[in-house]
Amino acid sequence: MLVIVMKQFRHFESQFCRVLMVTAAIVFFAAAIDAQDNENLKLHSENGMLNHLAVGIQSGLGGTGIDVAMPVHRIVTLRAGIVGNAVGDIKFKAINTASEITQSQLVEDDAVNRARMIDKVELAIKPRFWNAFVMAEIHPFPTPFYFSAGIFAGNRTFLHFRNTNDGALESLYDANKKVEDYNTLYHTNYPPVGLKFGDYIFTADENYNIDVKMKTWAVKPYLGIGFGQSMARHHRLSVAVDAGLLFWGAPEFVFNNGKKIKSTSKESGITHFISWFKGYPMIQMRLAYKFF
């Protein structure tokens, strides 16, 4: 699990570095424009409601996005936009649980024997997390620090797990059906045949694929703190860094048919991790340009 998480964050890091390179180019270009706009600086220092507009781009652990900002009070700025992941698939090998079956009757079954011949299966994690948001920034002190609070709303799927070899898991599907029949007939409690992900077992569907989604709340409150300005008071260009928690509930693993996957353990591993992972850490860097 740790290896997979590290791979995911390396993908985020790679994407973040690319965005920072683009951001640096924009900063250079915008600075050149800003140098030509000194005669308008007094206009941009006026306080008021909805009398200024800034457009920004951002990137970080919450993804990459764009937003607009307007002042609604002397110390409050309102931002609205969309943000999401733009990273590629993360691939890893998952262990086939059929190889762990030792009960003699099951091992003698042809379907189980075929499944036991498969050692590991390659899965791809597809980050597909997009949200629209509305956020208020409160600057109560004459310093660059501020508080932020808002609401994110979007798709519930944070990660999508699928095997890379489409329709190739017929043996796992057949073996799992045999285990289900065996448990029903003999009142046993053997675990499903599928692919291990921590304390969870992903079983193949009728299309012979692993199709599992990690789901969260559709509407997610956010609280954070920031440093910088989303709308510069005396300049056109501004930079800010915002860090906080996106509260999305305890994530669930769900099959494509909507059935929730039960963990094989309640006290350790990824199950214990998810039980308290109800807030997703967000660190976003934002570059904005003030149009008026």
Q: What are the per-10-residue average pLDDT scores of the chain (292 residues)?
A: 46 49 47 44 52 91 93 91 86 84 70 80 89 94 92 94 92 91 86 87 94 95 92 83 94 91 72 77 94 87
- CA 99 – CA 96 distance, rounded (Å): 6
Model pTM score: 0.76
First and final CA of the chain: distance in angstroms? 48
Which of 69, 30, 70 minimizes the C-alpha distance to 235?
30
- CA 284 – CA 66 distance, rounded (Å): 12
Backbone Cα Rg of the chain: 25
- Phi, psi dihedrals of residue 98, rounded to the nearest 5°: -65, -30
CA 244 to chain centre: 14
Q: How many CB atoms lie within 10 A of CB 272?
A: 15
Which of 279, 289, 253 minimizes the C-alpha distance to 1?
253
**What pLDDT was estimated at residue 30?**
46
**What pLDDT was estimated at residue 289?**
93
**What pLDDT was estimated at residue 141?**
87
146: Cβ contacts below 8 Å, ≥ 6 apart? 137, 138, 139, 140, 225, 226, 227
- CA 91 – CA 8 distance, rounded (Å): 10
230: Cβ contacts below 8 Å, ≥ 6 apart? 54, 56, 69, 77, 79, 137, 238, 240, 286, 288
**What pLDDT was estimated at residue 99?**
72
Both tokens assigned to 51: 């009398």
**What pLDDT was estimated at residue 12?**
44
**What pLDDT was estimated at residue 14?**
52
DSSP string across 165-179: STT--HHHHHHHHHH
| Contact indicator for 246, 158 with CB cutoff of 8 Å | no
